[in-house]
A = this chain, B = another copy of it.
Amino acid sequence: MSVQATEETPSGEVELAGLIGPELAGLVGEVRSRLAGRWGGTSLLASMCGHALTSAGKLFRPVLLLESALAVGGDPHRVLPAAVGAESGHVASLVHDDIIDGDDTRRGRPTVHAAYGGGSAIVAGDALIFDLFAGLAECHRAGAPADRVVAALALVSRCGIDLCRGQSLEAEFCTSGRFDHDTYLRMVRLKTAALFRAACECGALLAGGDLRHVVALGRYAQHLGVAFQIRDDLLPYQGSAGKPDTSDVRNGRITLPVIIAHRTGDAADRVVIETALSGVGDPDAARASLASVLDRTGAVAATARWARHYVGLAIAALGALPDTASRDRLRGYAAAAVDRDL
C-alpha cells in the first residue's frame, strides 16, 4: 500500500514546491545533497542504498522535521542530520515494503529487490534503518543536547516498532476478510502516522522545544499521517493519467475506500469487491472493476471526506503552537497532503 506511480504520474508524494519558503528550501537542498553523498564507493551496499535514495521524492518527512524545529523557535541546523535520517528510515520501509508487496517498480524505476535481488535488498533496508539512528547521534555534534538526543532516540525507536506493528497488523487484516474501519484506522496510525509523528516530535525535541509544543506537533503529525494514507489508498482507484497501480489489488489490501464500498454497496457489489481482492484473475481487470464499484457506491467521495476530516484535526492541533510562518506552512502541508488529488 506504499505510494507508487508510473513515469506518467511521477509521484504520490505531496507537492511541496511553492509551499516551503526560501530558508527551508535551502535546508531541504542540504538534506538532498547529504543523502546523495552518504553512500560513497562502489560496494554493492553503497550502490543499493544510493539507488534507493535517488528515487527520494519530495522529502516530506525531512520537511516536517525541519519545520517542526522552526515552529518551536529552534535552530534547524541542529536537527539536519535527523532530517537526513528521517528520509533514510522512510526509504528503508519502502525498500522492505516493495519486497513484501512484490512491487518491481517505484516511480518508474526498478525497486531495489528487482534490481539487486530480495536478499540483498533486505540488507540494504537494514542499513538504512541503522543510518536513521546514525543521523540521530550526529545531531549531538550539530549542537543538540545529549538528553534531547536520548529522548529522540526513545521516541524514534518506539515509532519504528509501531511502524512494524502496523505492517504486521496489515498482513493480518488483509487476510481476515473483515471490512472494518476501526482496524483500518488503528493500522494506518501505526503503519504511516508513526513515522510522521517521529519526524515532527523529533524535530521539535532536538531543537529544544517546550514539551507542550512537542505534543501538539505529535498530534498534528498523527492526524496528517492518517489523512495522507487515506488519500494514498484512494489513488489506485481514481481516474488519472498513466497506468494505475495494481499493487493494492494484487496484495488484497482492505483499504478505506474498499471498506466504505463494502458497507454501502449491495450483495452484488460485495461479491465484486471480494473477488477483486481474492488475488485470482488479471490485476488490471480486478482494479478496474473495483474502481467502478467504488465510484458507483460513492466510496471515493466518502473517502475524500474522511481524509479532509483528518486534515482538519491536524490543522486544529497546530492551535497550541506560537503563531509563526512555520505554523502557517505546516497548515499548508496538511492541506496539500489531500487537496491536490481529491
Binding site for B on A (CB under 8 A): 43-45, 48, 92, 96, 99-101, 118-120, 122-127, 129-131, 133-134, 136-138, 140, 145-147, 149-150, 153-154, 156-158, 160-161, 163-165, 167-169, 171-172
Contact = CB atoms under 8 A, between A and B. Distances in A.
A138 B157 CA distance: 11
Contact of A133 (B118, B160, B169): B160
A46 to B, nearest CB: 9
Contact of A171 (B120, B126, B127, B147): B120
Nearest to A39: B161
A171 B44 contact: yes
B122 A168 contact: no
Contacts of A134: 154, 157-158, 161
A119 B1 CA distance: 14
A127 B161 contact: yes
24 contacts: A43-B168, A44-B171, A45-B164, A45-B165, A45-B169, A99-B119, A99-B122, A120-B168, A123-B164, A123-B167, A123-B171, A124-B168, A127-B168, A129-B130, A130-B160, A131-B161, A133-B157, A133-B160, A134-B161, A136-B153, A137-B153, A140-B154, A146-B150, A149-B150
> Which A-B residue pairs are the 3 nearest by beta carbons?
A130-B160, A127-B164, A100-B119
Contacts of A99: 118-119, 122
Contact of A122 (B96, B130, B145, B161): B96
Contacts of A154: 134, 137-138, 140
B126 A125 contact: yes
Contacts of A119: 99-101, 171
A168 B44 CA distance: 6
Contacts of A171: 44, 119-120, 123
B172 A157 contact: no
A140 B146 CA distance: 11
A96 to B, nearest CB: 5
Nearest to A149: B150
A169 to B, nearest CB: 7
Nearest to A93: B126
Nearest to A190: B45
A158 to B, nearest CB: 6
